Structure 1
Amino acid sequence: MLIISAGEVRQILSGREDAVLDAVRHAYVRHAQGRTVLPHSVFLRFPSDARNRIIGLPAFLDDDTPVAGMKWISSFPGNIDRGLARASAAIIVNSMENGHPVALIEGSTISARRTAASAALAAGTLAPPATGVSLVGCGVINFEVLRFLRAVLPDLAEVTVFDLDVERATAFARRCARWNLKVTVASSTEEALGAHPLVCLATTAGVPHLGLAHCRPGALVLHLSLRDIFPADILGAVNVVDDADHVCRAATSLHLAEQETGNRDFIAAGIGEVLGGTGWRHDPERVTVYSPFGLGVLDLAVAELVRRTAEQVGVGTRLPDFLTMPPEDPDAD
């Protein structure tokens, strides 16, 4: 068993946005081709505690070297007020030769960057190139989204940020300024929605709380937190998802829209098909909403990138006796 810590994951992925983008793109295309297995995520919730949860995402990727594994990720939003990260995660990678777990990898960085890479791929594919972006929710995810947007949109020059916590938004803006971007703190969600034709929602909202009327015509909204947009506005938008079966559950905005209509006809396309070459025409008048549930196969693809690199460069801690040894021969001396 190879154990790879958070610091080692960041070391391996530092400056490798293109490699992560390629891994995520490849996993999406494989998924569209039917070369993945993705059981529904398991949500572990707690009595009298609607806010916190732990989610299990099992996955199998049929590739040149097939691999299986699982991400186990917690979301405890109250951690932020205690100076701790909201999310923490571990990823187990299994060999398909014998089923043995071959790596235990700290997963929060992988989770954030695969989410950001997914958003950046959508931004570079579903709409004309943007020079500005609005980020609603000033946490780890949107910071990583900005990192990957810079790799996909080289002309990106302006950023508008909004968070219910003004101090948090101001601190986030200072961090973004390291990239020589013009950063503005919006005074309202509505101001942020209308500031640019590219918007990313990464909040901790549990129920829909905003509409899309303030978005520009033809805007692309990256709906990463999945529960921000009113169902009526989802039904009025052009909707792209990563997987309809996964995203239309767990009280997401799209799940609520499906419950209202009794169908999924409002979903126009899957991102895997678009990335694989299926023709896509951007609607310059209607808002396009990209809602990725966050497929476990993406975590697995990036985790396998980390594991292979760690093996090559000698990073990580190896425990040779982690697994149960074969049973002893009762007849042996």
Structure 2
Amino acid sequence: MSAGFRYLSQQDVDAAGGNDAQQAWQDVCDVVTLMRQGQAEMPAETHVRLAGDRGKAYALPARVGGRFNAAGVKWTAHRPDADDGLPQAMALTLINRADNGLPLGLVESGSLTAARTAAVTAVALHHAAPRKLKRVLLLGAGVQARAHLQMLSQLFPDLQRVDWWHRNPQKIVLADWSATWPLVQHAELSPLLAQEFDAVITCTSAAQPIVDSAVIKPGRLVVQVGYHEVNFAAIKQADRVVVDLWGDFCATSAKSLFQMYRAGEFNAGQVDADLSNLLIDGWRPAADDCVYFSSFGLNVFDIALASRVLACASDLKLGTLLPLFPEAPFSLES
């Protein structure tokens, strides 16, 4: 049989379960265990600049063993100043088998990135929230915010209510909303922060903080997904600081916590826990703690999700199978 290389469009990814929050949750949990066991690695990113002041394209390589058996690289063009109606971040993930290096496929990864980010937030909501979740505030209306809404509807059906804010509320369009809890939209942010939320999730593209110390309340979890949404004063007032991982990216990342680190106002020793502590060691906050969770976004999760989706697409015969090394007397998927 001739070798094959599978290309998955966004539609193929969706059909292969790329947006399934439960599967993404399990992927993240399994990868964290593999990282603890030394069966995964994640080198630092490398990037080149694009036209404009803030644009860049960056490569994020990783390897993960176990059921994923994948080595790959996620290639993302970050286009914050683009005005063409297309996504500001455009991502593709190339996957090889980790055991023998054979290439398996190329996956459009915009929704996969959102799914794995939302899955990490789900872990934080489940393990790092000081109190049982009843009411959640979500900020933002882009791809990440919508993935978080989908995650909340799938994994947290017992919520009593979710409140949703975006600076341009006219952009919020809900079709066929089917969650078991009400979704309440708001146009003003400041008054919201004083209300009784068990968790606040920030999923905006804000380049400057939109959330100040008013977000810090006893018993609340604050999850920052975007770049620089939470000011330093708020982070300082949090009782606990939790991260998905602390790594060399602290020297370059635009995330609020890492900017704070480079400004000399935070150090790695102040981190109370990371994902492995939550999932493996059983770390939990006190009921009256305010917990700040900084979600960096680990590329090892991207490789795992893309590997799982490629395997499912192969079983379902989805995507476009391209000839690769046609002289090889075997299948790359064998």
For the superposition of Structure 1 and Structure 2, which TM-score range results when normalised by the shorter chain? Answer: 0.7 to 0.9
**Equivalent position of 2:112 in the other structure:** 110
Distance 2:266 2:145 in 1: 33
Secondary structure of 2:92's aligned partner? strand
Query: How far 1:229 moved relative to its partner?
Result: 1.2
Instruction: Give the aligned residue type for 2:236.
Output: L
Distance 1:160 1:13 in 2: 27
Secondary structure of 1:116's aligned partner? helix
**Equivalent position of 1:193 in the other structure:** 193
For CA contacts below 8 A with separation 6 or more, give which structure has more relative contact order: 2
Q: 1:309 to 1:64 in 2, by over 3 A?
A: closer
Q: 1:177 to 1:151 in 2, by over 3 A?
A: closer
1:269-284 alignment to 2 at 5 Å?
269-276=273-280, 278-284=281-287
Secondary structure of 1:13's aligned partner? coil
Secondary structure of 2:247's aligned partner? helix
**Equivalent position of 1:258 in the other structure:** 261
Over the aligned positions, Cα root-mean-square deviation in angstroms equals 2.4
1:26-41 alignment to 2 at 5 Å?
26-41=30-45
Q: For the Cα contact (< 8 Å) 1:126–1:220, is it kept in 2?
A: yes
Secondary structure of 2:164's aligned partner? strand
Is residue 101 of structure 1 aligned with residue 103 of structure 2?
yes
Q: For the Cα contact (< 8 Å) 2:205–2:227, is it kept in 1?
A: no
Q: For the Cα contact (< 8 Å) 1:226–1:291, is it kept in 2?
A: no
Query: How far 1:96 moved relative to its partner?
Result: 2.6
Normalised TM-score (structure 1): 0.87
**Equivalent position of 2:7 in the other structure:** 3
Query: How far 1:47 moved relative to its partner?
Result: 5.3
**Equivalent position of 1:20 in the other structure:** 24
1:297-312 alignment to 2 at 5 Å?
297-312=300-315
**Number of equivalent positions:** 319
**Equivalent position of 1:69 in the other structure:** 72
Distance 2:161 2:52 in 1: 42
Instruction: Give the aligned residue type for 2:301.
Output: L
Q: 1:86 to 1:251 in 2, by over 3 A?
A: closer
Distance 1:14 1:264 in 2: 33
Secondary structure of 2:272's aligned partner? strand
Q: For the Cα contact (< 8 Å) 2:64–2:300, is it kept in 1?
A: yes
Is residue 153 of structure 1 aligned with residue 160 of structure 2?
no
**Equivalent position of 2:219 in the other structure:** 218
Secondary structure of 1:306's aligned partner? helix
Query: How far 1:87 moved relative to its partner?
Result: 2.4
Query: How far 1:297 moved relative to its partner?
Result: 0.8
1:95-244 alignment to 2 at 5 Å?
95-127=97-129, 128-169=131-172, 171=173, 174-175=174-175, 177-195=177-195, 196-237=197-238, 238-244=240-246
**Equivalent position of 2:331 in the other structure:** none
Instruction: Give the aligned residue type for 2:187.
Output: S
Q: For the Cα contact (< 8 Å) 2:19–2:115, is it kept in 1?
A: no
Q: For the Cα contact (< 8 Å) 2:95–2:105, is it kept in 1?
A: yes
Distance 2:215 2:22 in 1: 33
Query: How far 1:99 moved relative to its partner?
Result: 2.1
Q: Identity across aligned pairs (percent)? A: 27
Instruction: Give the aligned residue type for 1:240.
Output: V
Structure 1: segments with no counterpart, 5+ residues: 327-333
Q: For the Cα contact (< 8 Å) 2:20–2:115, is it kept in 1?
A: no
Is residue 88 of structure 1 aligned with residue 90 of structure 2?
yes
Deviations along 1:72-95, one digit per CA (max 9) or x if unpaired, are: 12232455x643223221110012
Q: 1:210 to 1:47 in 2, by over 3 A?
A: same
Query: How far 1:294 moved relative to its partner?
Result: 0.8
Instruction: Give the aligned residue type for 2:184.
Output: T
Structure 2: segments with no counterpart, 5+ residues: 329-334
Q: 1:246 to 1:292 in 2, by over 3 A?
A: farther
Query: How far 1:244 moved relative to its partner?
Result: 0.7
Instruction: Give the aligned residue type for 1:124.
Output: H
